[in-house]
Amino acid sequence: MTTSRDTSVVAFLRQISFLENLPYADLHELALICQMEQIQRNCAIYTKGEISGHLFILLRGSVKLCSFSEDGREIIKEMLSPITLFGELGLVGEKERQENALSMQDEVQLLRIPTESFRKLMRKHPNLSLDIVDWLGTRLRRAESRLEALMFKDARERIIDFLKDSAENQGKKIGFELLIKHSMTQQDIANYTGTSRQTVTSVLNELRKSNLIYFNRRSILIRDLERLS
């Protein structure tokens, strides 16, 4: 018997690009074993060293993937917004987590999917495996681009690149402007761009004085994306 909960989960699964064309029966079978979870701000979804036994789809809120140095400094590798799949490396051989996944705002909602159940789906649909390899390749290229930016671009350029990427990926058009609603602190932006909080503050204030952006604690308004440089 199909419930409204199962139907909702299938609808969420179909929003992941490489799942959208799979048969309903297979997605429904997967939906039956998915767990829907709701967690609060600054809670760990998983931590480094844990068994990579599940993957996740972020339904609501935001999540950061991060590591910590020996002296406790945080390095943010990626900041995720809905609808995003993460924790997927168990599908390609990862035994233990190599990073942490932490919620960034209240009432983050997730789907938790057993890795082995997803691998079973991949064995049944070989083309799904190929699509996932392509998707992982895209993520790897994006990570390489960020690494190159850390090596070859200065702090101001990296912060502006972050604003541009955020605007393009999650910005909402308001006339000719782009509004980014977020739950990031300026320290989060610094940890993501490999800069300091003071540098982030200085660059954001400079851009605001130039009337290129406006920002407060919960949003950033990009007034002119083409002029943002």
Provide the residue ranges of all domains of the chain, joining segments of one domain with +: 4-151, 153-222
pTM of the model: 0.88
Q: What are phi and psi of 142, to 5 degrees?
A: -65, -40
Q: Which residues contact 57 (CB under 8 A, 6 or more apart)?
A: 12, 13, 16, 83, 84, 85, 86, 110, 111, 113
Percent of the chain with pLDDT over 90: 75
The overall average pLDDT reported for the chain is 92
User: Residues 80, 86: contact at Cβ < 8 Å?
Assistant: yes
* pLDDT score for 123: 94
Rg (CA), the chain: 19
pLDDT at 1 over 70: no
pLDDT at 89 over 90: yes
pLDDT tens column, 102-137: 999 888 999 999 999 999 999 999 999 999 999 999
**Residue 159 banded pLDDT, cuts 50, 70, 90:** very high
Q: Does the structural domain 153-222 have CATH classification 1.10.10.10?
A: yes
H/E run at residue 68: strand 63-68
H/E run at residue 204: helix 197-209
pLDDT tens column, 16-32: 999 999 999 999 999 99
Q: What are phi and psi of 123, to 5 degrees?
A: -65, -35
* pLDDT score for 217: 83
Q: Does the structural domain 4-151 have CATH classification 2.60.120.10?
A: yes
Residue 113, preceding peptide bond in cis (omega within 30° of 0): no
Q: 196 vs 95, 168, 214, CA distance in Å?
A: 33, 24, 20
In 3D space, the residue among 178, 173, 177, 195 whose CA is nearest the CA of residue 186 turns out to be: 195
H/E run at residue 152: helix 126-152
